[in-house]
Amino acid sequence: MSLRLLGLLLTAAAAGLPAQGAVNTGRAAGSDAAIRIWSLTGSLRITAWTRDSVHVQGRVDPGAGRFGLGGTREALKLSVEPPVGREPDGVADLDIRVPARARLWIKSAAADIEVTLQGGTVEVTSVGGRVRLAGQAASAAVETLDGNVELALEGPLARVRTASGTIVVRGVLQELDAQTVSGPLLVGMEGSVHRVRLETVASEIAFKGDLDADGHLEAATHGGDIELRLPPRLAATWQLVSYVAAPVNELLPAALLRPGERKGEWVATTGDGRATVQVRTFKGRVVLKVRG
Give the whole-number percent of the chain exceeding pLDDT 70.
Answer: 93
**Pick the residue with more confidence: 17 or 23?**
23
pTM, full prediction: 0.90
In the Cβ-directed half-sphere of 17, how many Cα atoms lie within 13 Å? 12
Helix (H, G, I), strand (E, B) or coil at 217: strand
Per residue in 118-142, pLDDT (tens digit) is: 999 999 999 999 999 999 999 999 9
In the Cβ-directed half-sphere of 134, how many Cα atoms lie within 13 Å? 7
**What is the Cα–Cα distance from 192 to 266, expressed in whole angstroms?**
25
The confidence score (pLDDT) of residue 20 equals 57
Amino acid at 106: I
In this structure, how many other beta carbons lie within 10 angstroms of the beta carbon of residue 179? 19
- The torsion angles phi and psi of 240, rounded to 5 degrees, stand at -120, 130
**What is the Cα–Cα distance from 205 to 178, expressed in whole angstroms?**
10
In this structure, what DSSP letter does residue 254 have? G
- At residue 143, does pLDDT exceed 70? yes
- At residue 46, does pLDDT exceed 60? yes
Over the chain, what is the mean pLDDT?
A: 92
Confidence of residue 222 (pLDDT cuts 50, 70, 90): very high
Cβ contacts of residue 265 below 8 Å, gap of 6+? 239, 240, 241, 259
The residue ranges of every structural domain in the chain are 166-292
